[in-house]
Amino acid sequence: MQGGVDEAGRGPVLGPLVVAACAVPDADLPLLVEAGVRDSKLLSATKRTALAAWFTDQKEARGWRSCTVVIDAEAVDIALADDGLNWLEVRGFARAINGLGLSRDVHLVADACDVNAQRFTHRITDRLNGWPWPNAVMESEHKADNNHPVVAMASILAKHRRDQAMTAMAERVGYPIGSGYPSDPATVAALERLIGPEHIDPDVRWSWATVERFWRQRYPGEPPVRGQPHRIQRTLFQTDEPRP
């Protein structure tokens, strides 16, 4: 088996961080290429939806596997106040791989979220049930979704699930929210309604620097904080010791 793991939604100010893992037999890898699987960022939402549905159909017929882990905005905020976003992703990647139900005979590749790809691998395998597995290896690479179709498929599954979450949020609030990225004008416009003086929407990442700047430009006092006392937004490992 060949397995891939990737995430979607590390940088947005709105919505969840999603990690997906998938695995297919070695002989089926060409099917991914033939179907047009590639890095999810290079595909339209329509194409991602179609490929996600196609993969689901193949799971029953060909014994393919997948697992998706959705980490909501509140959990992201709490992690940022605790041991950092990269440790959150380590735990998410491990949960997704464990969710595949594999225990041997697999080559796993993760899209590295740490500047040190080997360190990222070790931190994940430390959390895999029963690792080391017989005849199994794991490695992490930067830009792995460009080089490995099975990682690209994982990126598609993760991005598709995040797209669904963003659609559900827009339907819940009743107005456009865009992609959720701070660079998206529709998202910036939505923040005017999502961030108020007495309430911030639960699907907003309260700890994001974007939210803090927005709050301080409009309201007196400190912005609301989830979980633990607010700390500066972090994007790299801040400690070598994760929370328990």
Confidence of residue 226 (pLDDT cuts 50, 70, 90): confident
Task: Render pLDDT for 18-73 as a digit per residue (tens, 0 to 9).
Answer: 999 999 999 999 999 999 999 998 999 999 999 999 999 999 899 999 999 999 99
Q: Who's near 63: CB < 8 A, 6+ residues apart?
A: 25
Cβ pair 173, 41 in contact under 8 A: no
How far, in whole angstroms, is CA 57 from its chain's centroid?
23
Strands 65-71 and 106-111: unpaired
Say if residue 132 is preceded by a cis peptide, omega within 30 of 0: yes
Helix (H) / strand (E) containing 167: helix 149-173
User: So where are the chain's domains?
Assistant: 1-237
pLDDT at 227: 56
Helix, strand, coil: what percent of the chain each, to 5?
45, 15, 40
Give residue-wise pLDDT tens across range 167-202: 999 999 999 999 999 999 999 999 999 999 888 999
**Is residue 28 within 8 Å of residue 1, measured between CB atoms?**
no
* CATH 3.30.420.10 fits domain 1-237: yes
What is this structure's pTM?
0.91
